Amino acid sequence: MCLHAQSANDLIQFLMKVVYPSVQYHFLEVVWKGNFLPEEKSNGVDHILSDLKSEFNSLYTYETKLVFPAVLRTFDKNIQYRVTNTPDIYELVDLTRRKENRMRTLIDELKKHVLPESEKNQSIEKLIDSFETEFFPAKEDWNDMINNRLSTCSCFKKAIKSQPSESNNEFNS
Amino acid sequence: MKNNKDLSPSCMFCQPRKNSIFSNLSDEELELMNMHKSCAIYRKGQYIFNENGFPQALYCINNGKVKLNTIGIDGKEQILRLAKSGDVIGYRSLLSNERYHCSAVALEDSSICVIDKNFFLQSVNNNQKLLFEIIKKLSSDLKTAEEHIVSLSQKNVRERMAEALLFFKATFGFAEDGQTLNVVLSREEIADYVGTSTESAIRLLSEFNQDKIIQLEGKKIKIINLPKLIKTANLND
């Protein structure tokens, strides 16, 4: 294992055991706090929350099943793994970052539409707060760590198949 | 509605105006507008104008909050927009000379200035700066409406399938032909990633196959049009 594997693993554990459960808890709390006001429902707050939850669950699935194992596998110096199956970490991180940006947009949208007189308002505000104070900062740390390793860690460098510019060009073309 | 001439705020000293379409009017123009408007207090829940009514004035919110709503074909209320202090409402119907397509209802006790229709239209004709501010306002409202439409429809299952295929490509890469995904997943597994039923996953893969985005060869998936797949995933910043 690369020396950096432990710090990556620690961050993954923090995301999986602290950050994601906290966000999931706040999603549940929104559901428990009763129905939406008619204004909120027709104004799309329920749709925004549904999209946000769907996006979050989707990111959770991809990270737990594909991204986190791929990152840890890349740190692993067992050559057999890398010869048979080399994940494109640049592209994976880029895909998850784009999903996070989508969530940021939905959070901004949510902030605009939540009406102050709503009984659910408090629980929705807590959800927004958990995204802004826990989820996004932790994801920034994760993305910074990956970017840092991509440029400095020899294990990553050896495992990279394509250059970052190639991955980005695919999306921006 | 309660008319309150004494409490009617002067346009010259109106703070919310500074962030409104009237922000660039000269003192003379403001003085003139002041003479062609009245101010009214609308109680919470009170209608400012009604859907299908003919526009008679422009409404400028001095203080308070207003919702613009319409009734859908299922009889349910649909809020189109919320307006706050400094916003103008009813201008689209006024400019297009059409009946109101929605109603405006005070969400809380609100102080609203009512500007004479003919004076407003004449001002728009004579004042290019005001006209430009209205165009900016219309453009901004159109952008908000378009973003809302996208937010309601963007997370469709087709996008999610395209996104899943991109994640598979990044994780497992291509086989030697540079097109076939280097992994064989069952339709159930793919459906699990996409967050849909197996039947929907099969249907979507078949659609992608017909659209020549992918090519299905048994359980193997060949990505034959990557740019189109990326576009379908709608993941651009």
Identify the residue with better confidence: A77 or B101: B101
Q: How far is A112 from chain B (nearest CA, A)?
A: 9
Euclidean distance between CA atoms A126 and A132, whole angstroms: 10
Binned at pLDDT 50, 70 and 90, residue B227 comes out as very high
pLDDT tens digits for B151-161? 554 457 888 89
Helix (H) or strand (E) holding A54: helix A45-62
Euclidean distance between CA atoms B151 and B113, whole angstroms: 33
b/e map A102-120, b = 16+ CB within 10 Å: bbebbbebbeebbbeebeb
Query: Could you tell me the two tokens for B129?
Result: 């700066």
| Contact: A57, B237; criterion CB under 8 Å | no
Mean pLDDT across the stretch A119-137? 87
pLDDT tens digits for B27-40? 888 888 988 999 99
Count helices and strands in chain A by DSSP H and E runs:
11, 0
Q: Which residues contact B51 (CB under 8 A, 6 or more apart)?
A: B70, B71, B99, B100, B101, B102, B103
Beta bridge partners of B63: B111
Q: Running DSSP on this structure, what letter comes out for residue A3?
A: T
| Contact: A51, B236; criterion CB under 8 Å | no
What pLDDT does A123 receive? 82
Binned at pLDDT 50, 70 and 90, residue A79 comes out as very low
Identify the residue with better confidence: A40 or A13: A13
Nearest by CB to residue A95, choosing from B79, B155, B170, is B170
What pLDDT does A168 receive? 44
Q: How far is B158 from chain A (nearest CA, A)?
A: 14
- B79 alpha-carbon distance from chain centroid: 11
**Which amino acid is located at B118 in the chain?**
N
Mean pLDDT across the stretch A69-75? 82
Nearest by CB to residue A66, choosing from B67, B82, B167, is B167
Q: How far is A156 from chain B (nearest CA, A)?
A: 14
Residues in chain A, overall count: 173
**Could you give the C-alpha distances from B172 to A30, A34, A89, in angstroms and in order?**
37, 43, 11
Helix (H) or strand (E) holding B63: strand B57-63
Taking contacts as CB-CB distances below 8 angstroms, the residues of chain B near A70 are 171
Phi, psi angles (nearest 5°) of residue A57? -60, -40
Taking contacts as CB-CB distances below 8 angstroms, the residues of chain B near A95 are 163, 166-167, 170, 235
Query: Could you tell me the two tokens for A52?
Result: 């946000």
Mean pLDDT across the stretch B96-107? 90
Q: What's the whole-number average pLDDT of chain B? A: 85
Euclidean distance between CA atoms A13 and A20, whole angstroms: 10
Give the end-to-end CA distance of chain A in Å, rounded to a whole number. 37
| Contact: B67, A39; criterion CB under 8 Å | yes
Residue A104 reports pLDDT greater than 60: yes
Residue B113: helix, strand or coil by DSSP?
A: strand
Nearest by CB to residue A42, choosing from B79, B147, B169, is B79
pLDDT tens digits for B212-223? 999 999 889 999
| Contact: A38, B166; criterion CB under 8 Å | no
Nearest C-alpha in B relative to A117: B107
Taking contacts as CB-CB distances below 8 angstroms, the residues of chain B near A44 are 148, 151-152
Q: How far is B112 from chain A (nearest CA, A)?
A: 20
Identify the residue with better confidence: B131 or A162: B131
Tell me which residue of B91, B101, B69 sits closest to B138, measured CA to CA.
B91
Residue B59 reports pLDDT greater than 90: yes
Euclidean distance between CA atoms A40 and A114, whole angstroms: 7
DSSP string computed for B176-195: TTSSBBS----HHHHHHHHT
User: Under a CB-based contact definition with an 8 Å cutoff, are residues B66 and B106 in contact?
Assistant: yes
| Contact: B237, A98; criterion CB under 8 Å | yes
Question: ∠ at Cα B67 (B64, B68), nearest 5°?
Answer: 135
Mean pLDDT across the stretch B13-36? 87
Query: Could you tell me the two tokens for A18?
Result: 């602290």
Work out the number of other CB atoms within 10 angstroms of the CB of residue A128.
Answer: 17
Nearest C-alpha in A relative to B162: A95
- A32-36, A78-82, A96-100, A133-137: range with lowest mean pLDDT: A78-82
Nearest by CB to residue B155, choosing from A54, A66, A113, is A54
Residues in chain B, overall count: 237
Q: pTM here?
A: 0.58
User: Under a CB-based contact definition with an 8 Å cutoff, are residues A108 and B144 in contact?
Assistant: no
- Chain A residues with CB under 8 Å of a chain B CB are 38-39, 42-44, 47-48, 51, 54-55, 57-58, 61-62, 65-67, 70, 85-88, 91-92, 95, 98-99, 101-102, 105-106, 109, 113, 115, 161, 170-173
What pLDDT does A95 receive? 93
- A97 alpha-carbon distance from chain centroid: 7
Query: Could you tell me the two tokens for B189?
Result: 């597994």
Phi, psi angles (nearest 5°) of residue B167? -65, -40
Work out the number of other CB atoms within 10 angstroms of the CB of residue A149.
Answer: 22
Find the DSSP H helices in A63-120: 68-75, 79-84, 89-113
Helix (H) or strand (E) holding B62: strand B57-63
Nearest by CB to residue A57, choosing from B69, B195, B236, is B195
Nearest C-alpha in B relative to A98: B235
What pLDDT does A73 receive? 80
Binned at pLDDT 50, 70 and 90, residue A115 comes out as low
What pLDDT does A141 receive? 92
Residue A96 reports pLDDT greater than 50: yes
What pLDDT does A162 receive? 43
